[in-house]
């Protein structure tokens, strides 16, 4: 019996779905690099990925959703890890450990590249903002379980919004401070995130100029 036939049918189907989704995203990213965001069609993406137009829409509602899948996956994985961490861990440390944990240079470079693409395309930027808003909602759900019962909804919403803003600022800085044509070092995002969380911890207590 081959190793392929030994895999349960449902497992093979899920594996094929993941491969198809990854192929569509890879094709959309290649075309975005070559022709710029918004410079190509769904039919071109489908042809590049070797799937039908119908199959494309079975996986993604738009080209922008396909391009931004790596950002969505990164945030989903990060908050899944956050849920696994001890409820006694300070929330700032937990967020740093999950969002700023092990991330390869290749993956960070891709996230920064997609972020920069959004600066040149309003629709792509809008989709990215939607992904970050969804991430904030996920974080709010996690905070409700981590914070004391006495913490009200305002505290949950304000803290989640502040933490997501820190992560967005760190991604922006990692993307914009890297010279064109160079991949950001693996520590770039983590260092920017650490600095932004330190500012939040201190209440942005910055010495004013005389």
Q: In whole angstroms, give the CA distance from residue 18 to residue 69.
A: 12
What Å distances lie between residue 80 and 3, 10, 42, CA to CA? Answer: 30, 23, 31
Q: In whole angstroms, give the CA distance from residue 24 to residue 67.
A: 9
Instruction: Map out the domains of the chain as residue ranges.
Output: 3-61, 68-201
Closest CA to 117 of 77, 161, 75, 66: 66
CATH code for residues 68-201? 1.10.357
The better pLDDT of the pair 107, 209 is held by: 107
Q: Do the domains spanning 3-61 and 68-201 agree at the CATH topology level? A: no
Which residue has tokens 């093979």?
A: 12
> For the ranges 39-43, 65-69, 142-146, which has the lowest average pLDDT?
142-146
Q: What is the mean pLDDT of residues 30-38?
A: 94
**Residue length of the chain:** 210
pLDDT in tens, 81-119: 888 888 888 888 888 888 777 778 888 889 989 998 998
> For the ranges 2-6, 123-127, 168-172, which has the lowest average pLDDT?
2-6
User: What would the 3-class secondary structure string for the chain be?
Assistant: CCHHHHCCHHHHHHHHHHHHHHHHHHHHHHHHHHHCCCCCCHHHHHHHHCCCHHHHHHHCCCHHHHHCHHHHHHHHHHHHHHHHCCCCCCHHHHHHHHHCCCCCHHHHHHHHHHHHHHCCCHHHHHHHHHHHHHHHHHHHHHHHHHCCCCCCHHHHHHHHHHHHHHHHHHHHHHHHCCCCCCCCCCHHHHHHHHHHHHHHHCCCCCCCCC
The pLDDT of residue 6 is above 90: no
> For the ranges 53-62, 139-148, 172-181, which has the lowest average pLDDT?
172-181
* Residues 171/129, Cβ–Cβ less than 8 Å: no
Q: Which CATH class is domain 3-61?
A: mainly alpha
CA 76 to chain centre: 7
* Residues 146/86, Cβ–Cβ less than 8 Å: no
pLDDT for the residue 132: 94
pLDDT in tens, 113-155: 999 899 889 999 999 999 999 999 988 988 888 888 888 999 9
Q: Binning pLDDT at 50, 70 and 90, where does residue 1 land?
A: very low
């Amino acid at each position: 019996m081959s190793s392929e036939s030994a895999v349960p049918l449902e497992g093979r189907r899920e594996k094929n779905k993941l491969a198809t989704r990854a192929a569509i995203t890879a094709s959309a990213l290649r075309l975005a690099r070559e022709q710029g965001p918004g410079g190509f069609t769904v039919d071109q993406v489908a042809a590049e990925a070797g799937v039908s137009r119908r199959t494309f829409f079975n996986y993604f509602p738009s080209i922008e959703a396909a391009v931004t899948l790596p950002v969505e996956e990164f945030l989903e994985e990060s908050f899944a890890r956050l849920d696994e961490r001890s409820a006694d861990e300070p929330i700032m440390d937990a967020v740093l450990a999950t969002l700023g944990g092990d991330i390869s240079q290749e993956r960070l470079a891709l996230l920064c590249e997609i972020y920069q693409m959004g600066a040149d395309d309003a629709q792509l930027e809008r989709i990215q903002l939607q992904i970050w808003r969804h991430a904030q909602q996920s974080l709010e759900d996690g905070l409700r379980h981590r914070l004391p019962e006495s913490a009200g909804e305002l505290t949950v919403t304000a803290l989640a919004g502040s933490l997501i803003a820190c992560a967005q600022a760190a991604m922006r800085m990692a993307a914009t401070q890297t010279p064109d044509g160079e991949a950001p070092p693996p520590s770039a995002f983590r260092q920017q995130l650490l600095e932004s969380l330190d500012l939040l911890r201190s209440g942005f207590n910055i010495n004013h100029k005389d």
